[in-house]
Amino acid sequence: MTAPTSLSQDELKTLVGRAALDYVVPGEIVGVGTGSTVNKFIDALATVKERIGGAVSSSEASTARLKALGIPVLDANEVASLSVYIDGADEIDGRGYMVKGGGAALTREKIVAALAQRFVCIADESKLVSVLGAFPLPVEVIPMAASQIARRFESLGGQATLRLRDGRPLVTDNGQHILDVRGLAIGDPLAFESEVNQWPGVVTVGVFARQKAHVCLLGTAQGVRTLK
Ligand code: 5RP
C-alpha cells in the first residue's frame, strides 16, 4: 500500500488500523487493545463484524467502542485462546519489544495478549525506537506501594511520578494507580520486565517483552511497513 508523503499522524493510524484487518481470522474472536490507533482498528473491524465471532477487549474504553459499533464483546474468561491480538504501542524496537500503557490499560492488555498466539502491533513510525525508555514507562501499582516502588526506580536512575487526572490520582479499570517513570534506558527488556514484576505492589510493568509483538504494522510516509 502506498501513501502520499503528506499524511498526518492520525491518517497514519487509520492506515495501519485498516491494514490490521488482514490479520483477522474469519469466524474467530479477535483480541483488541486500547488507544487512538486501536480505535481506528475497531472502526475498520466494524465493517467486517458479520465475519468475526466477536472480540475480547483490553479496556472499558475499547469495550464501549466495540459495543457501540455492534461488535459482541466476550469476557476473557470465556476464551481459552485467540489467534490474534491487535494493539498499539508507545514505543517498539526492532525486536518487537514494546513500552505500553500510555492509555493506562497495560494490565488488561498483557492479559489479553497472553491469550493470543500472535501479537500484531499497529503504530505510526514515531513509535519505532532503538532503545526503549524515552517514553515515560507506565507501571500499574497498588496505591499503598507507590512511594516504595518510586524509590526503587530512583535507585535505577529513574524518576517516577504518580499519573494524575483532573488533579487526582488516575484510577485504572482495575482500581489501581499508575506511576510514569522517566530517565530509563531499557537495554534488556526481558530481564527488566522480570525484575520489576517481582517488586511487591507492582501489578504490571509496561514493558512488553514476554508478550512482545510478532508483527508490527508501521505507518510511514511511504505506506505500511511490516516488521517481523
Ligand atoms: C494503552 C496503550 C496504547 O496502545 C498506547 O498508549 C498507544 O496508544 P496510541 O495508539 O493512542 O498512541 O498501551 O494503554
Q: 99 CB less than 6 Å from ligand 1?
A: no
Q: How confident is the model at residue 6 (pLDDT cuts 50, 70, 90)?
A: confident
pLDDT surpasses 90 at 157: yes
Q: What percent of the chain has pLDDT over 90?
A: 97
Q: 96 CB less than 6 Å from ligand 1?
A: no
| Per-residue model confidence (pLDDT) at position 5 | 60
CA of 102 to the centre of ligand 1 (A): 5
**Active-site residue (options: 91, 109, 140, 193):** 109
d(CA 201, CA 170): 17
Whether 87 has a binding-site annotation, put simply, is yes
Based on the residue annotation, tell me whether 109 is a catalytic residue of this protein: yes
pTM score > 0.90 for this model? yes
| Per-residue model confidence (pLDDT) at position 209 | 98
The residue whose C-alpha atom lies closest to atom 6 belonging to ligand 1 is 102
| Per-residue model confidence (pLDDT) at position 150 | 98
Q: 106 CB less than 6 Å from ligand 1?
A: yes
For the chain, the helix, strand and coil percentages under 3-state DSSP, each to the nearest 5: 35, 30, 35
pLDDT surpasses 80 at 3: no
This complex has an ipTM of: 0.99
8-state DSSP, 55 = E
d(CA 100, CA 50): 30
Q: What amino acid is encoded at 55 in this protein? A: A
d(CA 191, CA 101): 19
Which cell numbers hold the place of 106? 497495560
| Per-residue model confidence (pLDDT) at position 84 | 98
Instruction: Report the atom number in ligand 1 closest to the C-alpha of 123.
Output: 10
pLDDT surpasses 90 at 118: yes
For the stretch 46-68, pLDDT in tens is 999 999 999 999 999 999 999 99
What value does the mean pLDDT of the chain take? Answer: 96
